C-alpha cells in the first residue's frame, strides 16, 4: 500500500488506513459482484430480497 514511505505520525497512519477501507468498500468494483462495489452489491441484493 505505502511501501517505502515514512509515515510521520499515528494519526497519519490511521487516516490512510481509513481512506483505504473507504475505497475498498465503496469505490473499487469487483467482476464477481457484477462490476459493483461491495457496498453497492449488498445494497442491491438486500432490496431484491424484500
In the chain, where are the structural domains located? 10-48
Alpha-carbon gap, residue 25 to 37, rounded angstroms:
6
CB 7 within 8 A of CB 16: yes
What's the confidence (pLDDT) of residue 19? 92
Residue with cell 438486500: 46
Strand partners, 30: 36
What's the confidence (pLDDT) of residue 13? 86
What's the confidence (pLDDT) of residue 29? 78
Which cell is 44 given?
442491491
What's the confidence (pLDDT) of residue 34? 78
Please report, in tens digits, the pLDDT of each residue of the chain (50 residues total).
556 777 788 898 899 899 999 888 888 877 787 788 888 888 886 666 65
Amino acid at each position: 500500500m505505502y511501501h517505502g514511505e515514512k509515515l510521520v505520525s499515528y494519526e497519519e497512519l490511521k487516516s490512510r488506513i481509513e481512506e483505504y477501507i473507504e475505497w475498498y468498500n465503496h469505490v473499487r468494483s469487483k467482476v464477481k459482484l457484477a462490476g459493483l462495489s461491495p457496498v453497492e452489491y449488498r445494497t442491491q441484493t438486500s432490496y431484491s430480497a424484500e
